[in-house]
Chains A and B, each alone.
Chain A
Amino acid sequence: MKITARTHIGNVRPSNQDSFLVQEGKYSLVGVADGMGGHNGGDIASQMAVLMLGRVLEGAKPDEALLLGGIEEINQLIYQEQLKNELLSGMGTTLTVIWEDDDRILLGHVGDSRAYRIRQGKIEQVSRDHSMVGEMVRDGILTKEQAMNHPYRNVITKAVGTAETVEPDVVILDKERGDKYLICSDGLYEYVTEEDMLKLLQFSPADHAADVMLETALEKGGRDNVTLLIAEVTA
């Protein structure tokens, strides 16, 4: 896989609580974490998540049970950490990763950071938002448009590290050469439409697409941290 990543603090937040994970190799592991809560806790939770998941899965052959167990394990570690340290209490993070196997892609996912797949001129969100409005859209209570302006759109229903246990989504996706994956925090998709993502990823080099998406998010407001990662399937 060929990886391109960008992260930016945005225009108003005092710190960047987003982190990304890039572990390239035969079995590449890449992802985005968007931290939340606590005084400094948000940064710490997202950094812990990507560092520890990288360490836990390093060198292993991709396997869904391993991915599921890995996310559960780092959930425990982060949860324990916040019990120990009052300053970190309430911290947690989203986590959306993909893990490249020989003939398939594994997606591991908690929270509202997203993974999109671009294939044959189409963009498809392959992760499900674990957010209140995300669930309401799936249940048909809200339209996508209503969800985008909903005052509770930042309320997520699952996070890594906020409770003793977590139930991550693990999804197996088929692998095709030429597929592109976009993994991003809500600071990106709040401002960049799926059409624009598709246009950019389809017709421009990843470097350029990444820069333009980041700039767009910042220009349109940049009220949150912005992180995006593009993974191109090369083999």
Chain B
Amino acid sequence: MIGKLLDNRYELVEFIGQGGMALVYRAKDQRTGHQVAVKILRPEFAEDEEFLERFDREAQTASKMSHHNIVNLLDIGQEGELRYLVMEYVHGRTLKEVILQKGALPFNVAAQIAIRILSALRHAHGNGIIHRDIKSQNILVNEDGHIKVSDFGIARVAGSNTISKTDNVMGSVHYFSPEQAKGESVTYGSDLYSVGIVFYEMLTGQLPFDGDTPVAIAMQHIGAKPREISDLNPAVPPALTAVVKRAMEKSLDKRYQNAVDMAQDIKRALEEPDGTWLGRLPDKNIPNSQEPKKDATMTGTQMNLGSKTKKNLARKAFLVMGLAILSIAAIVFGSIYIYEQVIQATEAPYVLDETLESAERLLNKAGLRMEVKRISDEVKPVGTVIMQSPEYGTAMRKEETVLLTVSTGPESQAAPNIVNMTLEEAMAELEKTGFTLLALPERQLSAKPWDTVLSQNPEPDTMLTSGSVIQVTLSGGSIILPDYIGMEKDAALLSIQQLQLKLVNLIEIPVSDASQIGRVAAQKFVVYDNQEPVEYQPGQMVMQQTEVTLAVYVLDNGTETDTQTEQARTEQ
């Protein structure tokens, strides 16, 4: 597979891993020069209809998302039997690897990571997507300390047996919610429970529930109390401990109801670590509360205040966020990067509604790169930026990438008028406008030349989704059937050719009368009406390509008593 070029675009460079359903390669996008990850569906699933259906459906769901804390889906492709997804390539490590190496993370770093996971989930949940498998193995930390949640909305194998010893199953069981353990339906709150487990793991360096078998672990999710975080890591402030506890409540009702609430509590816990405010739980309206604190450190969420203070707050927010990213990078890769990163600091510009060209200019000015994803949009003209991620004002480092979502124009468009075009012209027009021609067109008797489009269905200007099929009725032309009887064979054949009739049978009838030899003895014209042959007579009007059978007299050499017939197919 290495070196293979998919869709003339993605060159597979290196095998980087495999999951239950896919083989993963690092690839080079030859169009943009960027590195991407290509997930190729395992060949054994290529014929599994159920699986393919899920794969397509979930790939579609994933394509709705675009967020800087998510490993974004960039493209979906198929080459021959190979189905594949193109994802962002993240150069870094999993959070699991980081924790295994470093042990517990400093609580403020852990909190910043949790906030970013929650930001990704807020986006996903807002799009109606539940991750279902949040675990530290699915959280990627890149070289700059940026956090990306992976394996979003990718089909999971169900149906065929899996042995529980696989890392994948055991890995997931450590993080799944009591309701998942019980096989009950999964909700947004289930993802938040899993974030709670990841948060616990970051703060303490160990999993809250562990055991030798998945059942033992599942049982603990349902009924056991984890060890207190403060026993394992006394440095964690009580407010944060309380947030983790609430995320890990067994009962859905007692848990955080959405990712935003949980992120806000984490931020507040960093500001007011004693946790006295937690007595007032549930308090979900912190950012809208009437009296914004003037003296406390401002954080990112409090930016939606008056516009006057916005700039000032943004700068502070920028500092806080920037420092958090730096500290994540520092903890992961050592402090050597910090100096460099301060110099490299920049900010995401506002590029919404810009054309792709001017967006690129703006990003270049800010020292940023871009990655482009295209989706259809009813309103925004082709080539304008609909979404940007990270949002404008976000602290970034130079050479980082902003993900732009660019409109490809409305998904539905008017059917073009192809009536009176030739078939060839019609096909070219449909290809240009992104429609499909029905493969087996009907024909009708018409004075218009052969292959002229007589009518189309749906009619011109009907609004259709792109790729829709347009059915056409083509002209079969029209001719008056001649009478070939008594005509010389060659003259008859020439006429058949000129009139574009279709000679299907040439029968030879042996006779001894020399004057008749070479002349047409009998003729039959057949038109198929709904597969039923109907015979037509000379003088009647028919379509071109009507089938003709001719019988001609040949010399009887006397050796055969029976009438010898020979069939010949002419080539059209």
A positions within 8 Å CB-CB of B: 12-14, 17, 34, 36-37, 39-40, 42, 92, 94, 111-112, 132-133, 135-136, 139, 141-142, 146-147, 149-159, 162-163, 186, 223-224
- Across-interface contacts of A159 in B (CB, < 8 A): 161, 163
Task: Determine whether the beta carbon of A155 is less than 8 Å from that of B214.
Answer: yes
- 12 A-B Cβ contacts within 8 A? A39-B42, A135-B213, A139-B215, A141-B219, A141-B222, A147-B183, A150-B182, A154-B158, A154-B160, A156-B163, A159-B161, A223-B159
Question: Is there a chain A Cβ closer than 8 Å to B164's Cβ?
Answer: yes
| B150-178 interface code vs A (CB 8 A; 1 in, 0 out) | 00000000111111110001000000000
Task: Determine whether the beta carbon of B215 is less than 8 Å from that of A152.
Answer: no
Task: Determine whether the beta carbon of B44 is less than 8 Å from that of A156.
Answer: no
A42 to B219, CA, bound (A): 31
Task: Determine whether the beta carbon of A36 is less than 8 Å from that of B214.
Answer: no
Task: Determine whether the beta carbon of B49 is less than 8 Å from that of A156.
Answer: no
B positions within 8 Å CB-CB of A: 42-44, 46-51, 158-165, 169, 180-184, 186, 213-215, 218-219, 222
Task: Determine whether the beta carbon of B50 is less than 8 Å from that of A223.
Answer: yes
How far does the Cβ of A39 sit from chain B's closest Cβ, in whole Å?
A: 5
Task: Determine whether the beta carbon of A14 is less than 8 Å from that of B44.
Answer: yes
Other A-B pairs, 12, CB within 8 Å; known A34-B161, A92-B163, A162-B165: A12-B51, A14-B44, A17-B160, A37-B161, A37-B163, A139-B215, A151-B180, A152-B214, A156-B161, A156-B162, A157-B164, A223-B159
How far does the Cβ of A213 sit from chain B's closest Cβ, in whole Å?
A: 19
How far does the Cβ of B41 sit from chain A's closest Cβ, in whole Å?
A: 13
- Across-interface contacts of A13 in B (CB, < 8 A): 48, 160
Task: Determine whether the beta carbon of A186 is less than 8 Å from that of B183.
Answer: no
Complex partner residue of A154 from B44, B159, B181, B218, CB under 8 angstroms: B159
Task: Determine whether the beta carbon of A163 is less than 8 Å from that of B165.
Answer: yes
A18 to B45, CA, bound (A): 17
Task: Determine whether the beta carbon of A142 is less than 8 Å from that of B48.
Answer: no
How far does the Cβ of B555 sit from chain A's closest Cβ, in whole Å?
A: 62
Complex partner residue of A132 from B50, B51, B182, B214, CB under 8 angstroms: B214
A-B pairs, top 5 by smallest CB distance, nearest first, are: A150-B183, A14-B47, A36-B161, A135-B215, A12-B50
Task: Determine whether the beta carbon of A12 is less than 8 Å from that of B48.
Answer: yes
How far does the Cβ of A150 sit from chain B's closest Cβ, in whole Å?
A: 3
- Across-interface contacts of A186 in B (CB, < 8 A): 161
- Across-interface contacts of A141 in B (CB, < 8 A): 181-182, 215, 218-219, 222
B164, B180, B186 — most chain A CB neighbours (10 Å): B164
Task: Determine whether the beta carbon of B219 is less than 8 Å from that of A139.
Answer: yes
- Across-interface contacts of A92 in B (CB, < 8 A): 163
- Across-interface contacts of B44 in A (CB, < 8 A): 14, 39-40
Task: Determine whether the beta carbon of B49 is less than 8 Å from that of A146.
Answer: no
How far does the Cβ of A62 sit from chain B's closest Cβ, in whole Å?
A: 28
- Across-interface contacts of B219 in A (CB, < 8 A): 136, 139, 141
How far does the Cβ of B430 sit from chain A's closest Cβ, in whole Å?
A: 34
